[in-house]
Each structure stands twice: as structure tokens, then as C-alpha cells.
Chains A and B, each alone.
Chain A
Amino acid sequence: MELLEREPLLASLRGFHADAVGGAGRLVFVAGEAGIGKSALVDAFCAGLPADTPVHRGFCDSLDTPRALGPLHDIARTCPPELGRLLAGGCDRHALFTAFLDAIAADGSVTVVEDAHWADAATLDLLLFVGRRIGTFAATVVVTYRAEEAGGDHALRRVLGDLATVRAVRRLVVPPLSEAAVHDLAGRHGRDGALLHAVTGGNAFFVTEVLDAPGHDVPGTVRDAVSARISRLGSGARVVLDGVSLVPDGADGALLEAVLAVDSAGLDEAVRAGILVLDGPVVRFRHELARRVVEADVPAARATELHGRITALLATVEGVDPARLSFHADAAGDTAAVLRYAPAAGRQATELGAHREAAAHFARAARHAERAAPVEVRARLWEQRADACENSYWTFSAAAGPDDLADAVAASERAAVLWAEAGDVERRAVVTARGAHRLWNAGRRADAEVAAGVAVALLDSLPPGAGTAQGYTALARLRMLARDMPGAVALGSVAIAHAEEHGDRSSLALALGIVGNAQWLTAPDRAAELLIRSLDVARDADDELAVAAALGNLGAGAGMIRDYAAADRWLAATVAWCAERDLDALLGFARAWQARSAFEQARWSEAGTAATEVIGRYADHPPSRTVALTVLGRLRTRRGDPDSQSPLRLALELAERTGDLQRCWPVAAGLAEAAWLAGTPELIAGLVGDTYAVAVENRHPWAAGELGLWLHMAGGAVDRSAVVARPWAAQLAGDATGAARTWQELGCLYEAALARSASDDRDELLVALHELQALGAWPAAEIAARRLRELGVRHLPRRPRQATLDNPAQLTERQVDVLELLADGLRNVDIAARLHISPKTVDHHVSAILAKLGVGSRQEAARWHGERPTRT
């Protein structure tokens, strides 16, 4: 039929395709309600393409649990065989997705994916992957979906939202036919246009159905219209329709002949009537709405019987997706077949990362197993469902849902009971241990501890095995979450030993990571060593998430102990790895830590940019957001910029929700610093007291140090026996110069200046003022200036010029003067005389210059100056 009113949309599609042919690929989402004519539009677009344009098509099917990467399987048939091989061979997802992009990147190819509102989790991840990268490929991808089925929480909505700001991704909405168009069509058939429009609302499918019916009755609903059309067909055709309606993704020749007893006359009639179409070897309904109507009218007994025959036939064909088999077996009530195919479908979905679908497959199998299978089988299925639900929760993929964790907990409990019934102590122990970890994550801490106790008792009673490695690993993770570091190390070490003995690489990588992370504050070298081993094992096992976790932990751990060179290196590696693989949650966390590292090294511009980015892009990931908000709040506090309180208050709220010291203490420190700089130190005890106590109890030298110092400066009592990091200890002991030197060595320029500003020595204070002004930290600078005035110093130096592009090392104007004289070979006393300042001040400037240039001696500084002059 001719397409009315679609010219503007076709023109848009042609325009996008022209962009793609020119090298700027496009992903176009085509939205519209069912029957509005999306497919017709896309077909017309494809028909109008130059004859040599490669066109690929894939369909998301309406099986209640869609096939994992269903459309990719369809598309692979028209692509070079490499893609199909990768798909069948079970390679890692990143390689698969990259291969897909390469396959469609042939100049100006068009790929169509239909009905994305039915897409499985892995396909949604693929759309996200493509959307983010297609801008540099010469390819067009068109994705149709039903807007009314993809509302609110729907996973597709998250993909659309995520891609909303990507230039290469566009959206078209297919509207209903206008009244004028409906009138026009009606007129050609001699029908009443107004009535037709009123009933159909301009829905193209509905309009066609009505117009094809004879007579002047207008059916009230689409259902009636379709039924009316079908009732005009012969019984042979109706048998064919019934049969094909039961196979949502279309029936091929073998199926039609063997099972549906199709008589070719009947098939021809149905095709001629326009209800079925031939798509290569496959017969399908022209429209899903029609299929639904027919399917609903097939008598239950007949449907069951047909599904049974379909299952039997498909079982003899090679390469049939187990998801399809599982669907038909379930509809046929064939428990034995479901138990054969559903678990296989679940395993396949897991491998492809479609965890939601995997969980549904295992649930279906478990349901059937209740009546028919031995207890070990049932236990295993519930265990697999629990794992799939948890994976769905952790991967933060587009399809993760809020109930995943609760479902995981429930499934774990079921599995544990069944394994106990089956008498399998090892499996029971593993499931209980994992269940304990899941209970903790779900906020049920008391229940988690109880379960952990049960699990540990069971594990200790067993000889070492692969299962015990998994069990001890889960318990070690739980101990880490509970901040029991010695416990985490103990259990984790047992897990490592068992995992090594039994070659369980994923448990080994995880356990090494746990034991490493638990030791950053007590033995940082050992922590790094273990995490690097974890990284190697993860790489070996091709576990991209475990690699990302290891890289991120190395970065955050080094950052926590202020080894910024290492932290920046590891964090950059984490960001690169995660960006390539769309591992959004870990990417956000690494970016947040980059913000923190830059902030602590006084690279404030960089810190502001990174923190703002994380807060904007990763609003759904509380850990990342908490770190970023804390950095932003502290940054604004130090610079004296407006509204430092909102980000800090928000961070506090998020941190207190987790109760995690790691999140809480930097916020407390930020609030204390803000109170100090605002001249309200009496607030500090209330802001910091509780967190300080926890920091001391947990022997966290950096937290106890910083919070302790703020308490001390506000006149509060500090625990003198607490373990405190070196620079903080120096400040607490009143050694401003020593503390400043240590801070400078670490690269914490603001902390160094702030330490100096607590001194009573005028020269120290002058240097402090100078440095604080250079950093743009005017609240602290004002406090230093005030102290200088109190000491009787009259003419305070004017503000140093801001660092300019000519001054890449960010030396202040005075430091530039000193460097020039130093490079000329003058000694400090001579420099002092020349610039009319004290020699002690010159000493301070020289050490600051060496720190900023990153060199170890005056000679090197002079050489640097010779190669790169700092004044025009």
C-alpha cells in the first residue's frame, strides 16, 4: 500500500543515511505505537536505497523471555561468517560487539533492529555500545520500538536516556495518520472518512484492516477488524494461521510441513490475503497485532498439542536457540523438555551477559522441576537463579532492576534449604555464604551475620575444594563490608589457598583483591602486590569486570594513602579499560577518585571539572557521587566559592546511609574545615566527634590524623595514643615547618601552606600567605594575613599574578624572580639581598620551586629554567 504523510520522515532517514555514508554514522530510534506503520516506513526507506547497499535485519522477539542477542543472531546471517562464528563460539562480549561494529561498518550499510521494546539485556547493552561509538563509522542503524511499551522503568528507556546527549543518536516519532489522510483513503474505497478516523484514531494498521473488509461495517477494535478479515478465509488458510501464530519468531518450511500439516493452498491464500508474509524461508505474520489476535483464539488444547509437536521437531534441528525450545516446551506443558532446554537457555544467556533473561529461564525451569525433578536438580536451579539475579544487580547494565537483589536473596535461601535436604554440605555452604553477602548488601545485617556463622561452620567441616574457595571468598567479602579487616584477611587467605589448589581463577582473583584491599592501611606494599596478582589472574581468565575492579582498587587504595603518582597511573588505566567496555559504574568511581586525587594535589581546576562530570553523569551510583560531592564541597570551601554546604550536606546524607567510614570521614573533614574557615570552630566537635572515634577505633591514620587535628585546633580533646599519619602528627606536635615539608613531598600544596599558617614565625606566615594566595585559597589566606597583622607586619605583599600560559609550572611571580636569580648562580643570601626579603623566606621559596618543578636540586632547577624561560 502506498505510504501517506511519511515523506518528511523518509527525508529525515535519507538525511541521516547520507551523514553515515559521509563517515558520521547514525543510530536512529524510530518510535511509534503498535500498528502505526514503523516497519512500513523502514521498509520504504530500505527499498529506496541504492541497490548495492548492504542491508541487515534483526528482530527482537516477543517470546516472554527473549533470546539472548536474538537480533544479532538474525543479523549475523547476512554478515561475513566471522561474526556468526564468534557468536556461536562463546567469546567475550567486548570482542563480539566490536566485531559487530566492524561487520556493519562497510561503507553505507543499513542495519535494522525491530521491536526493541522486547530486547533482552544483552541486546540493550549492544545498542548502548553501538550508540556511543557509531559516530565514527560509515554505518546506519535503525531501531524501531513501541513508545507505549517502553515507559517509565523500562530498560530501553535507560538506554535512550543514556544516549540522549550523543550527537550520533537521533529519534523519529511516527505519528498517526491525519484526519485528512484518513479521509483520502476512505474516499478511495467509498467509505465514511470521519467515522473511520474516529474509530481508528489514525492507526495505519487498523485503517488498512477496516478498509479491506467488505461492506460498510466498521469494527470497534483492532481485534474485531482482524477477526473479521480472517473469518473470510477458507479453513485451510485458518489452520495455517493458527499454527504460525504459535511461533512468534516465524515458522520455517520444515516446521510448516512436518508439524503444522500445512497445505500449500491454504498458505498461498493467507499470503495473498496479506496476513502472512514470506521472509526468505520463514513465514510470519505481517503484523504482530494480527498474530496476537489469532493466537488468543486458538483453543487451549490445540495450542498445547501444537506446541508439543513444535518442540519435538525443533529438538531434532541443529543450532536452534534453547530459549525458543524452552518457550515451546513450557507452552506444551512438557516438563521433561523444559528441564532439558531452560537451563541451557539460562547458561547461554549468562555467557552473553543477558542476566535478567538468565534469571527468568532458571525460574521457569525451577517451576517445572518442583513436581518432577530430584532435589539436587531443584537446588542447582535455584542456585543458578540466585547467581543470575545477583549478576543482573551488579553489572549495572541497562536492564538491571531494583528487585534483583531481593530476588537473589530469596533464591539463595530456597537453594540452601534444598541442598540441605539433598545432603550436599559443600553446595549448602557455598550458597549460604553467598546468601550472607547478599543479605548484607540488601541491608539485612543481623540476618547476614547469622547466615555467615552457619556458613563458616559448614565450610570448616569440609576438606578443601572448589566450592570451599567460593564459600570462603563470599564470607571474606562480607567481613570487608563489615570493616573487619583482620577477619577479611584471615578468611580471604584461606580462600586463596583453596582457590590456588583447585584452579578456580575467578575466586582466586576475587580473594586476592579482598585480602589486598584489607591491608592498604597496615601494609600498603603487600596490598599493591596482592592486587597486582589479582589483576594478572583476572586478565588470564578474561574476566573484564574483575580486571576493572582490580585496577580501580589499586587506584583508590594508592589514593587513600596519598601515593598520587601510583594512584593517577592506576586510575587512568581503570578509566581507559572501563570506557572501552561500557563498564559505567566502575568508570564513574574511577573518575570520582581522579577528582579527589587532583583536588588533594591542588590541581583544582581539573578536580572541579571531574567532580562536576561525575555528579552529572553518574547520578545513579551513590559511591561515585558521594566521593565527587565531597570533592566539590571541599573545593568550594577552600576557594571560598559560593555554596560549599549543599554538596557537603548531600554527601553526608549519602555517606551516613552506608555507614562506611571511608565515605564518612572526608565529608566530616570538609565540614570541619568549612567551619574553621568561616570562623565558627565551636561547631567542629559536633561535626567531627563521632566519626573521629570510629576512625581511631579502626586505626585509620589519615582519618584520625585530619579529624584529630581539626578537633585539636578547635580546642577539643584528642586521643594521644591514636595511630596518626606523619604530617598530621607533626602538626599536632606543633612542628609547622616539618609538617609543611612532608606535605610538600607528598604533593599536597594546600595542606603544606595551611600547616605553615599555624606557625607563629613571621617568615613562615609570609610564605604561607604567598602560597595560599597563589592557590586562590582566599579564606585561608585572609586568616594568615590577619595573623601577620596581629604580629605587627604592616605592608603585606600584593596578590601574586595568576599563573599564565607563559608560566607552565604555576610558579608565583615571586618564585619566578627567585628562580631567575638562582639560575644566574646567586646564593640564597644574595638573592635575599637583591629582592629585599629575608634569607629564610628565600629558602622556603627555593624548596617550593623544587617541589613544583619536580626536581631534586638547584642545578636541575637552573637547567629547567634555561630550557624553558618563564617570562616573555
Chain B
Amino acid sequence: MARYLVERTFPDGLAIPADDQGAKVTRDVVGGNAQHGVTWVHSYVNPDRTATYCIYDGPSPEAIREAATTNGLPVDRITEVSVLDPYFYH
């Protein structure tokens, strides 16, 4: 199990409404990920919503990609990462 940073590009801008429909979209993504043993931790989005940087836990990069295909999401780049937090050192 490793943590990955997944970069995605949405040329038309990613739009997830802040209502029931949006909640359903994210629930479906979580369900789709589960089929591949992949967990979506959280994501960072740029202001015009054309790029996202998603933190994922999963068994392999291939599982991340398969989950993305199941959910109809693009994958530009995958990098393995671990957390570095300034507050650890206090």
C-alpha cells in the first residue's frame, strides 16, 4: 500500500455542484475506487478548476489507473509521495 499524488487535467473545468447531485458524484467515485482497492484521501484544485492534484492510497499505480477508468477520470501523472509536515518537528 502506498500513497500517490495523481495529477489530472480538465480542459473544460471540473464542475462538481455543491448539492445532492454533487454528493452522488463523489459517492460514486468512492465506490468505483473501492472496486480496485483504492482510497481517495483528498484533492487540491486550482482556481479555474482545470487541474486537480489528488492524494490517493492504493496497492499500485495500475490500480490507481484502473479506478480512474472505472470512474471516467483522466490521469496525467502519478508520483509516489509521503507526508512532510512542519508541525512534526515541534
Contact = CB atoms under 8 A, between A and B. Distances in A.
Interface of A: 605, 608-609, 611-612, 632, 635-636, 639-643, 776, 778, 798-799, 801-802, 804-805
Nearest to A799: B9
Contacts, number: 43
Interface in B1-42: 2, 4, 9, 11
B64 to A, nearest CB: 8
A776 B75 contact: yes
A778 B77 contact: yes
Contacts of B69: 605
B76 A641 contact: no
Given A605-B66, A605-B69, A799-B9, A642 B77 contact: no
What secondary structure prevails in chain B residues at the interface with A?
Answer: mixed
Interface residues of B, number: 18
Residue in A612, A635, A641, A643 with the greatest tally of chain B CB atoms within 10 Å? A641
Contacts of A798: 11
B74 A641 contact: no
A273 to B, nearest CB: 58
A641 B5 CA distance: 11
Interface of B: 2, 4, 9, 11, 60-62, 65-66, 69, 72, 74-80
A608 B4 contact: no
Given A643-B80, A804-B72, 16 more contacts: A605-B65, A605-B66, A605-B69, A608-B65, A609-B62, A611-B62, A636-B61, A639-B61, A640-B77, A641-B62, A642-B2, A642-B4, A643-B2, A643-B61, A801-B74, A802-B75
Given A799-B9, A801-B11, A802-B74, A642 B66 contact: no
17 contacts: A608-B62, A608-B65, A609-B66, A612-B62, A635-B62, A639-B78, A641-B62, A642-B2, A642-B79, A642-B80, A776-B76, A778-B77, A798-B11, A799-B76, A801-B11, A802-B75, A805-B72
A642 B77 CA distance: 10
Contact of A612 (B4, B9, B60, B72): B60
Contacts of B65: 605, 608
A128 to B, nearest CB: 26
A635 B66 CA distance: 14
B8 to A, nearest CB: 9
State the 5 A-B residue pairs at the shortest beta-carbon distance, nearest first. Answer: A642-B80, A641-B61, A608-B62, A802-B74, A641-B78
Contacts of B76: 776, 778, 799
Contacts of B74: 801-802
Nearest to B4: A642
Contacts of A776: 75-76
Contacts of B61: 636, 639, 641-643
Contacts of A639: 61, 78
A816 to B, nearest CB: 14
B12 to A, nearest CB: 9
Nearest to B81: A642
A801 B10 CA distance: 8
A633 to B, nearest CB: 12
A53 to B, nearest CB: 38
A776 B69 CA distance: 14
Contact of B78 (A609, A642, A799): A642
* Residue of B2, B4, B69, B78 contacting most chain A CB atoms (<10 Å): B78
B33 to A, nearest CB: 16
Contacts of A804: 72
Contacts of A640: 77-78
Nearest to B78: A641
A377 to B, nearest CB: 58
A339 to B, nearest CB: 57
Nearest to B12: A801
A799 B76 CA distance: 9
A833 B64 CA distance: 41
A643 B79 CA distance: 9
A67 to B, nearest CB: 44
A4 to B, nearest CB: 42
A799 B9 CA distance: 9
Nearest to B73: A802
B46 to A, nearest CB: 15
A320 to B, nearest CB: 54
Nearest to B2: A642
B55 to A, nearest CB: 14
A353 B52 CA distance: 58
Nearest to B62: A608
B51 to A, nearest CB: 11
B60 to A, nearest CB: 7
A784 to B, nearest CB: 16
A836 B74 CA distance: 28
A798 B60 CA distance: 28
A609 B78 CA distance: 17
A640 B5 CA distance: 13
A635 B75 CA distance: 15
Contacts of A636: 61
A798 B12 CA distance: 13
A101 to B, nearest CB: 31
**Chain B CB within 10 A, most for which of A609, A799, A802, A805:** A802
Nearest to B80: A642
Contacts of A799: 9, 76
Contacts of B11: 798, 801
Contacts of A611: 62
Contacts of B78: 639-642
A805 B60 CA distance: 24
Contacts of B72: 804-805
A417 to B, nearest CB: 53
A522 B77 CA distance: 41
Nearest to A803: B74
B61 to A, nearest CB: 4
A612 B58 CA distance: 14
Contacts of B77: 640, 778
Nearest to A644: B61
Contacts of A605: 65-66, 69
A254 to B, nearest CB: 61
B54 to A, nearest CB: 14
Contacts of A612: 60, 62
A772 to B, nearest CB: 13
Q: Point out which of A611, A801, A804 has the most chain B C-beta atoms below 10 A from its C-beta.
A: A801
A111 B78 CA distance: 51
Nearest to A632: B62
Contacts of A642: 2, 4, 61, 78-80
A775 to B, nearest CB: 12
Nearest to B61: A641
A805 B69 CA distance: 10
Nearest to B10: A801
A805 B9 CA distance: 17
